[in-house]
Amino acid sequence: MGADDTRGFVSLDELIRPRTAAAIVAEPDGCGCAPATADEAAGCCAAPEAAPAGQGPVPVETHVKKRYDALAVQGTSTLCCSPTSVYTPEELAEIPDWVLELSSGCGSPMNAIGLRPGQTVVDFGCGAGLDLLIAARRVGETGRVIGVDASMQMVRTARRAAKEMGLKNIDVRVGDIRRPPVREASVDVVMSNCVLGMFPDKKEVLHAVAAVLRPGGVAVISDVVYSDDGPPPADVAAGESAGAEDFARCVVGMTESQYRDLVLGAGFGSVEMRSDGLVPYRDGAQVTSAMIFAYRDDSPAQPCC
């Protein structure tokens, strides 16, 4: 895009400025979680901040977390993609049906990255845990897979899936990926599947991703974008027109080049981007999915694919 060619796109500053969703009315039950342990209570209730009852709009993140808590309880996702549109039948073999029902990604980061036995992997916004399960088989018993999600109900689902599949190298934590409960510079790979799109301030999350990577580490991020060469498609909201439900559906798009610039400005050494073309959403929308490879250092120590 040329410097003077705005074509109605919002600026990066507008895209990364935190905002609230005026259409969502505050609900009286705070963060809406029912933690079983003190640990869960800290992670769950510290994550999104709810506005006091009857006092204005609830932050986008509160709407998002409640939405995913409700989906986990319901046992079926209506948001984002079915995994059968983005993963192969072989990759999905042996995954419990109820995990597939709840999976809400928009790409297949586990296809894109060659994980090695012994590596430590973190999934930012792991949801019901599909990518955790695939990663855990690839890093093997000497490796470790950590999932982080703000929805305690999703975390419970992912823990149940790991237990049912007998995968002891998975550790699922309740937490906010803007302040992840993961030690700095401690992981080889961060993956994230259809999560960053739901943050008004994506840069804050990207800084947190960069911070947990070891030297030589890489982040593999699937997200919804739109083309540099035209207006956003009808299903993708941009800037101030976005409501909380747009964020929950991860369709608050950035153009590919805006996304690349944002990642580069968030503390990574180098960035590659691959367009995965149109993917079908569960609700019938068609969105453009992109895979971002963000290397902590200047030159990738680990080839992406």
Give least dist CB 129 to ligand SAM, A: 8
* Residue 139: CA count within 13 A, CB half-sphere: 25
40 binds ligand SAM (CB under 6 A): no
For 28-32, the CB contacts below 8 A with 24+ separation are 28/53, 28/54, 31/62, 31/65, 32/62, 32/65, 32/66, 32/69
CA distances (Å), origin 158, targets 100, 178, 271 = 11, 20, 30
DSSP line for 56-110: SEEEHHHHHHHHHHHHHHHT---SSB-GGGTS-HHHHTT--HHHHHH--BSS-HH
Which of 25-33, 57-65, 227-235, 288-296 is the region at the interface with ligand SAM (rule: CB under 6 A)? 57-65
Written as six digits, the tokens of 278 are 């149109």
161 binds ligand SAM (CB under 6 A): no
246 binds ligand SAM (CB under 6 A): no
Contact at 8 Å (CB) between 296 and 209? no
Which of 101-109, 160-168, 226-234, 251-259 is the region at the interface with ligand SAM (rule: CB under 6 A)? 101-109
152 binds ligand SAM (CB under 6 A): no
Cα(188)–Cα(302) distance, integer angstroms: 9
95 binds ligand SAM (CB under 6 A): no
9 vs 191 by CB, closer to ligand SAM: 191
154 binds ligand SAM (CB under 6 A): yes
Give the residues across from 221 on adjacent strands.
Answer: 192, 292
11 vs 78 by CB, closer to ligand SAM: 78
64 vs 285 by CB, closer to ligand SAM: 64
Give least dist CB 150 to ligand SAM, A: 4
Closest CA to 68 of 125, 135, 110: 125
Determine whether 110 is exposed, middle or buried from the number of CB atoms within 10 Å of its CB (0-12, 13-18, 19+). Answer: buried
Q: Which of 108, 119, 193, 258 binds ligand SAM (CB under 6 A)?
A: 193
Give least dist CB 47 to ligand SAM, A: 6
Q: Which of 64, 170, 242, 262 binds ligand SAM (CB under 6 A)?
A: 64
* Radius of gyration of the chain, Cα coordinates, nearest whole angstrom: 18
258 binds ligand SAM (CB under 6 A): no
Cα(67)–Cα(252) distance, integer angstroms: 16
9 vs 68 by CB, closer to ligand SAM: 68
250 binds ligand SAM (CB under 6 A): yes
81 vs 271 by CB, closer to ligand SAM: 81
Cα(155)–Cα(70) distance, integer angstroms: 13
CA angle 161, 162, 168 (to 5 degrees): 165
Q: Which of 62, 103, 258, 289 binds ligand SAM (CB under 6 A)?
A: 103
225 binds ligand SAM (CB under 6 A): no
Q: Which of 31, 32, 44, 68 binds ligand SAM (CB under 6 A)?
A: 68
Binding interface with ligand SAM (CB under 6 A)? 47, 61, 64-65, 68, 79-80, 103-105, 125-128, 130-131, 148-151, 154, 176-178, 193-195, 198, 250
